Amino acid sequence: MAVYTEVTDDDLARLIAEYGLGELMSYKGIAEGVENTNYMVHTSKGTFILTLYERRVNTADLPYFMGLLEHLNKEGVSCPLPVRNRNGEVLTEISGRTAAIVTFLEGVWVRGPKTAHCHAVGRALAELHLAGKSFPMSRPNALGLAGWHDINERLGERADEIAPGLGTLINYELAYLDRAWPRTLPTGVIHADLFPDNVFFIGEKLSGLIDFYFACNDAWAYDLAISLNAWCFETDCAFNATKARALVTGYQSLRPLTAAERIAFPVLARGAALRFLLTRALDWLHTDRNALVKPHDPIAYVRRLRFHQEVTSPAEYGLEPAE
């Protein structure tokens, strides 16, 4: 969540009035993330988050994202709730950008997740998947297997500028996943980006999930594999089996994986690692080195990918054989 587009005091005050949120007291930009412009807005009626959608977000997808947030709130999932203006509309415009206002969630994201945090995240992810079963809208995953090929074409020969041989590694993985990727697993709404900075905690109690702008419909177990890559590797990229077991145990406390999902999990973990390797490599090559928000180092996902290549059993992720 970065600040790419400035808003004026007068424009924001008018917008707050349109939403019936009282008097504008103060606001400040939130300088994290890479996708959209975000402001924390304090009014006489509370604290809210204003998001201005930048050019990387397809505005045609916004009704899906906003509808999903409203649906999940109704189902008891703790996540931001879009605020509707006096005309009953969720989306608006400010400073030449499509925008939305959502409620503020208390809590902070943890820089050094513990086992208890991982268990809570797994359980929250299962809650999200189950709550999303009744959501009527659908959105294809633009960053699925076909999308990975598209990104690789955009990288071209420049992948080796990041690390020698990276292009060969990516091509090898894509060829493998084309053959091995499971296509008949249980599917539904997934978050697709449940990294630590998108989960808020108060102490060890999970207070909410944010940033649903990659949400889509895909395999639930793939979403769990994304979370495993995000939560269960240490800063030196060493795999933490204890955290992995906590994550999958938390998930399966609400939604046990099928036998097919367990068998496929090592492949899903490789795919999840490649997905973030590709997008981070693209950002690494195309982000100005003087930018306020620095791109993530893709090498961390090279190391994750190489770990997954050596895994021989789902049990290494804490997934015991189905009974």
- The pLDDT confidence band at residue 54, using thresholds 50, 70 and 90, is confident
The type of residue at 147 is: G
- The pLDDT confidence band at residue 1, using thresholds 50, 70 and 90, is very low
- Report the distance separating Cα 310 and Cα 173, nearest Å: 13
| Per-residue confidence (pLDDT) for residue 2, from 0 to 100 | 55
What pTM did the predictor assign?
A: 0.94
Say what percent of the chain tops pLDDT 90: 89
Report whether 215 contacts 230 (CB < 8 A). Answer: no
Q: What residues contact 50, with CB distance under 8 A and at least 6 apart?
A: 7, 12, 15, 27, 38, 39, 41, 94, 99, 100, 101
- Report the distance separating Cα 30 and Cα 177, nearest Å: 37
pLDDT tens digit string along 210-251?
999 999 999 999 999 999 999 999 999 999 999 999 999 999
pLDDT tens digit string along 288-314?
554 455 568 899 999 999 999 999 999
Q: What residues contact 27, with CB distance under 8 A and at least 6 apart?
A: 7, 12, 39, 40, 41, 42, 50
Burial class for 8, CB neighbours closer than 10 Å (0-12, 13-18, 19+): exposed
Strands (E), the chain: 24-29, 37-43, 46-52, 91-94, 97-103, 187-190, 199-202, 205-209, 216-219
pLDDT tens digit string along 9-29?
999 999 999 999 999 999 999
pLDDT tens digit string along 128-137?
999 999 999 9
- The pLDDT confidence band at residue 31, using thresholds 50, 70 and 90, is confident
Q: Indicate if the pLDDT at residue 169 is higher than 60.
A: yes
| Per-residue confidence (pLDDT) for residue 32, from 0 to 100 | 65
Q: What is the mean pLDDT of residues 184-198?
A: 97
Average model confidence (pLDDT) across the chain: 94
CA 228 to chain centre: 12
| Per-residue confidence (pLDDT) for residue 294, from 0 to 100 | 58
The type of residue at 84 is: R
- Report the distance separating Cα 310 and Cα 233, nearest Å: 15
pLDDT tens digit string along 56-80?
788 999 999 999 999 999 999 999 9
Collapsed DSSP state (helix, strand, coil) of residue 278: helix
The runs of H, that is alpha helices, within 98-219 are 115-132, 145-155, 159-162, 166-180
| Per-residue confidence (pLDDT) for residue 268, from 0 to 100 | 98
